[in-house]
Amino acid sequence: MLPTNALNYQHLLYFWAVAKEGSVARATQVLHLAQPTISGQIRVLERALGERLFVRRGRHLALTEVGQVVFRYADEMFT
C-alpha cells in the first residue's frame, strides 16, 4: 500500500504522464509544461516515497519495481 500522505495529485499526474510517454520530453508536450517542472515534481515524489521510480534505459525511462506499483495506483486514478 502506498503512503497516501506522501502522494499529491500533481506529483502523480506528472509521474503518470512520464511513465506512459516513456520520457520527460514527450510528457512535456502532453502536459504543456516545462521539463524542469515535471522533473522537479517527480524528484519530490521520489523523495517523499524514499524510492526511485524510474531508471534510464538509453533515451527512455523505465519503471522500477516501486515505480510499477505507483503507476498502477496512478493509472487507476487517471484512466
Provide the whole-model pTM.
0.88
What are the C-alpha distances in Å from 69 to residues 17, 21, 34, 64? 15, 17, 26, 9
Write down the pLDDT at residue 2. Answer: 53
Per-residue pLDDT band at 8 (split at 50, 70, 90): confident
Look at residue 7 and tell me whether its pLDDT is greater than 90.
no
The DSSP line for the chain is ---GGG--HHHHHHHHHHHHHSSHHHHHHHHT--HHHHHHHHHHHHHHHTS--EEEETTEEEE-HHHHHHHHHHHHHH-
What does the pLDDT look like over 15-43, one tens digit per residue?
Answer: 999 999 999 999 999 999 999 999 999 99
For helices 9-21 and 35-49, what crossing angle results, to 10°?
A: 110
What is the average pLDDT across 37-55?
A: 95
Q: Does the pLDDT value for residue 60 go beyond 90? A: no
